Every structure is written in structure tokens, then in C-alpha cells.
Amino acid sequence: MKKIVVFIGLGLCAGLITGCQDKPSGGAGSAPAPAPAKTNQPTKVETNTPAATPATNVPAPAPATAAAANAAATPTAAPVSSNEVAVIKTTYGEMTVEFWPDVAPKTVANFKKLAKDGFYDGTCFHRIIKGFMIQGGDPLTKDAKMEERWGTGDPGYKINAEFNSRLHQRGVLSMARSASPDSAGSQFFICLGDAPFLDHQYTGFGKVIKGDDVLGKIGDVPCVARGEPSPSKPTVRINVDSIKLVPAPETK
């Protein structure tokens, strides 16, 4: 069954991160959707579009079953180095992200592993909600023929949530997910502004420390509607050429 990842639509109560709303969804991997007038919330599983597709939350497996499946499929996390940063090279330039292994060690380890494996190279930011967030990390976005399913891809496994006290503010890197807390895989989103409605509900695990201007340019790319309250489908492709890990000192 397809999964939809959706971000809560800005100023919309209907949009939920489950797949049809304006929230970072994470079925396969979607970012939350902007919250209704007062509550921007991440969307749920996105079936054809990351958190921005028509609301389509795929029922999550029963807690016991889901936990067992994730435990068996998720790679064992290696020790996380705190002196590495990620350089995300995009169509509009580079963004450097620091990690927060103190509050989300397994999430950081998973992201680093995927980056080292070249998993993100050639993907794109497939979902953008102005003033809210930009979402990427779906391996299906490497293939234009798979566009109808963008927002539903993952690495073949899910990781458990590591909700923490870090706030979702501009530049924060967080995991997209579906209705189930433990449904994140590879899709992530970067906040374009403060999104308190996501705090303690999405796993924030890093923040942009260089390249805020690039983040802004991506966030300003014109978008059209595609099934959620707020326009979220970029009119041009914003490629993620690569995500490389480098020693923090090299970025200064």
C-alpha cells in the first residue's frame, strides 16, 4: 500500500503530516505541513507526494509488530562523531548542517550512514511550503518517471522516533514521518521558520549553520498545488547533488 508523507499546510487545520496536509509527512518520507491558522503541523504519510499529497495516511502496523519489524530491519547505529558536519550541495548552492547526537544519536547515525553510502545523491527537494519547510530525502525522486510516488520512498526500513527538547526553528533539520511516530526512514525537512507545533512530535537532529541564504532561495521557489491546502510542488527541480560529511573545522 502506498504511503503518503505530508507537511501541515500553513494556516490550515486540515493539512496534517499524514499525507494530505501541510506537514512534513513521512509515510515514505514527508515533511510536516504548515499548521492551520494558528497551528502549522507536520503532515502524515504521503502517498504520492511527500507530506503534501492528498491526505493518505497508511495505517501504521500494530505497535508490537512495527517495533519488531523496525528492530530487525534497522541497521545497528555506529558511534556518532560530534565533530562532523554535513555539506548539502544543491542546485542553489551549499548548506552546512551541524548534528545533535546528544539528543538524537540514532537518527544522526542513520542520516550519516545514508549520506556516506551516497543514498541522497541525485535526489531533490520535492516538497516546499513557503515560510514553513523544504522536504527531501526520497530516493524515488531520482527518477522523474516515479513522480506520482514521490514522497513515499524510504531506505527499506524505519527508525524509532527520538523526540527531544530542541525546538523547530528556522534552519532546523528534522525527520519526516507518517502518522506513526516510528515511521521515519530517510526523508527529512528543514524549517523555513519557527514551527512550535512540531516540537516534541518530530525528531529534530541538526541545524543549518552555514548557507541560510541558500535555504531562503530554495524556500522561495514558486510552487503549485498538488493535493494539499498550500502549494507545495516546486515548479523547477531543486537537485541535491550530494550530501558529504566533513570535519567541522574544514567548514570554517
Kindly report, residue by residue over 67-102, the tens digit of the pLDDT.
444 544 555 545 555 689 999 999 999 999 999 999
- Count the residues in the chain: 252
Cell of 145: 518517471
Q: Which domains does the chain have, with CATH numbers?
A: 1-58+82-252 (2.40.100.10)
What band does 228 get if pLDDT is binned at 50, 70 and 90? confident
Give the residue among 98, 12, 6 at the shortest CA–CA distance from 54. 6
Q: What are phi and psi of 90, to 5 degrees?
A: -125, 180
Q: Output the pTM of the full model.
A: 0.76
Q: Any idea what DSSP says for residue 79? A: P
Q: DSSP per residue over 161-185, as a string?
A: ----S----TTEEEE-B-SSTT-BS
pLDDT above 90: residue 127 = yes
Residue type, 247: P
List pLDDT tens digits, range 18-59.
333 456 665 555 666 666 544 444 443 343 333 433 332 323
What is the residue-averaged pLDDT of the chain?
A: 79
Q: Are strands 84-90 and 172-175 parallel, antiparallel or unpaired?
A: unpaired
Q: Kindly list the distances between the CA atom of residue 196 and the CA atoms of 20, 35, 57, 114, 152, in Å, as whole numbers in the listed order.
A: 20, 10, 22, 28, 25
